[in-house]
Chains A and B, each alone.
Chain A
Amino acid sequence: MKVSLFIPCTVDIFMPEIGVAAYRLLSQLEAYPMYHQDQTCCGQPLFNAGYRDQAKRAARHFIEVFGNDEHIVSPSGSCISMVKHHYPELLSDEPSWCDRARELSERVYELSQFIVDVLGVTDVGASFDGKVTYHESCHILRALGVSDQPKKLIAGVAGAQYVELNNANACCGFGGEFAVGFPEISHALVKDKATNFLNTGADVLLLCEPGCLLNINGYLHRNHPGKRAMHLATFLAGSMKEA
């Protein structure tokens, strides 16, 4: 099986440990991923800001870099949704690119989705002594329909006690440019998310979206030092028995 790893720009620049964890996790499951060094960003920040011509440039580049891969896997649902749902629309006036985008959209996966649905694995051999909870990131839940997969992976962690997060599917208030453009509203939303997390008494808040992670951890670091959210990949890879 040929697996190709797409590292989102936020992960590449601010949280490379998530990329390393995703690599370790896939390797542990013998789905050794390749990494194209020509990859950059999916272009979503430009697309969401309305800069479509510029976003097209990123989209065409992505298609060129990943176009021949069998399975393209990323530790982000938002970037995958961009490729899967918005590339065909974005490139709709360039038929040959649009066809390639459509064809590519069938081969992109969010990491937990890939591990559970394609590799058929729910126990990666991790163990954790403590309480965990899970935040349903909007694009993972609603754009990709991925919700059971990460929960199955969490359930597969030996010793981990799972507690339900109140309003788990409520937006954390990130929204990319939204967090910068509407800071007061974003603040109110991330505060709710953090409060719900603190109320669970869980040791760690797990999630699968780097954007939400930057937002929630940024808030926790400022307001509740010592409490933290973690990408599911980092959590699983960190609690795996060394192969």
Chain B
Amino acid sequence: MEAHTDRFKETARRELKNEMSQIFLSLLPPGFTILRQIGMSSFPDPVSAVDQARAIRAEVIERMPELLEEFEKNAVSKGATVLWARDAGEANNIILEIARKRSVTYVTKGKSMITEEIGLNEHLIKEGVDAFETDLGEVITQQLSLPPFHIVGPAINVPPEEISAVFLKKGIIKEPTTNPIELGKAVRVYLREKFRHLDMGIVGVNMAVAATGTIINVENEGNIRMTKSSPRTLVAVMSLEKVVPTMADAMHMVRILCRNCTGQKISSYVSMDTGPKKPGEIDGPEELFIVIVDNGRSEIFRDSKTREVLKCIRCGGCLNTCPVYSKIGGYPYGFAYSGPMGQVLNPLLLGIKETSDLYHACTLCGACKEICPAGVDHPSLLLIYRAREVSLKGKDGKALPFIEKTIATFVSLGMSRAWLWNLGAKIMRPVLHRLSHDGYIRNIPFGVQGWFTCRDLPAMPAKTFHEIWTERKHSPVTTSRKT
């Protein structure tokens, strides 16, 4: 999909003022967080369960290449066709070709983040193959051309009036209604028609089991199962990191994924496909294609500092607990992945220069890292991206970063020389005093205005701690250690 990561600040400002978004944000993340707590507490030992999940994901990112080869070998031996795509363009063309060779006029889709990432719908539709989303939320966002607001509830913030209007326009309903049950029923009828005549379905993959060649999908609406079982041809699209070593690992990750995502012990539907329909079986697709998409991931894998990004299982737990996401929702992140998940992933997929706001829009509170069942250390990754941005800044020769860098260097010189540090404080005092009234500074008209939009700063007292200490006559002042 087209990235709009450069519009983070303006979109965030707009969303902070959007009443509908704010209502859902005040309910959704805390609601999910409570459900998660209840779900996780159903484990006999929740801490060990998370530890085990983290160990599985750590193993996956260490052994990814061999696990993927094992998966391919076993999937092929069960009759699936495995196709590798280096990037979005290649993946889209592979899938388009599969559709064209079978004269498919339309496909249905299970909700899948990787197909959002590569912009599959847009590509297929542009090339004359209609693509219909089948997850209720995705049906709505597709009709309205909206990015996902939340990874689990992509259209949770869209009011029924808006849904009614667009459904009416697209012929999904005949009479306007804001009754959610009526709207849901109408989508059901509309989708059943699509499934009935379906020749080709496209789904994502939650887990690909190396030891068995099985693909697993986790969902709550049954639309993925319909998309998988209705057509003759099934295409499953997965990114490299979806692979897990064994079925036992996969089952544990399903337990963790559902609990951490919606608080369920298990989602309403979990479907597993090991190859296409075999002789004598009564249902399932006649042919199964598994498209394994790299799209920058092998490069992420090769970099030991950022490899852990690939641990993410897209449960969305981090979105619900993130203070920033909880105020602005999914739109400002400007890409398929939002919240902390997107903040660590998007800069690697789209580029450090293009995503600056994403890795700066973080208070480093660590709530995401704490809740992450895959063991991703989001704050540390964001700090690495900030450092990479600084190392890039020197090279493009822009004036402001140069000044910023000079200031940083000067400050660091002060930090390593106490006399300079204390002199700095002395010089700063009269400047700050001029700006302060009644013990507080209400604005500083250069550099740090952001601070003063909603708060004051205490004026600098007559003495720093250092000065207070130095002037105490009988204090046990230690002698200097630095030589």
Contacts and interface: CB of A to CB of B under 8 A. Distances in A.
A41 B367 contact: no
Point out which of A37, A68, A173 has the most chain B C-beta atoms below 10 A from its C-beta: A37
A180 interface: yes
A14 B463 CA distance: 9
B456 interface: yes
Contacts of A39: 418
A35 B411 contact: no
Interface in A147-206: 170-171, 173-191
A215 interface: yes
A182 B11 CA distance: 12
A32 interface: yes
Contacts of A13: 425, 428, 460, 464
Contact of A142 (B365, B389, B464, B465): B365
Contacts of B464: 12-13, 16
Given A34-B476, A183-B450, A219-B454, A52 B363 contact: no
Interface in A100-128: none
Interface in B42-85: none
Contact of A35 (B417, B425, B477): B477
A177 B360 contact: yes
B415 A171 contact: no
B225 to A, nearest CB: 38
B251 interface: no
Given A35-B477, A46-B408, 16 more contacts: A11-B465, A32-B476, A35-B478, A36-B480, A40-B414, A51-B409, A68-B481, A175-B363, A181-B450, A182-B324, A183-B450, A183-B451, A214-B457, A218-B458, A222-B454, A223-B454
Contact of B481 (A38, A179, A182, A221): A38
B458 A143 contact: no
Interface in B451-483: 451, 453-458, 460-461, 463-466, 468-470, 475-478, 480-482
Size bracket of the B interface:
35 or more
| B contact face: mostly helix, strand, loop, or mixed | helix
Given A13-B460, A37-B478, A182 B364 contact: no
Interface of A: 4, 7, 11-17, 19-20, 32, 34-41, 43, 45-55, 57-58, 60-61, 64-65, 67-68, 89, 138-139, 142-143, 170-171, 173-191, 214-215, 217-219, 221-223
10 contacts: A4-B478, A47-B383, A48-B383, A49-B386, A51-B409, A61-B482, A138-B367, A182-B361, A188-B16, A223-B455
Nearest to B388: A50
A12 B413 contact: no
Contacts, number: 208
B363 A171 contact: yes
Contacts of B425: 12-13
B328 interface: yes
Contacts of A185: 12, 16, 324, 327-328, 361
Contacts of A171: 323, 363, 365, 367
B102 interface: no
Given A52-B390, A186-B454, A175 B405 contact: no
Given A12-B466, A38-B418, A178 B361 contact: yes
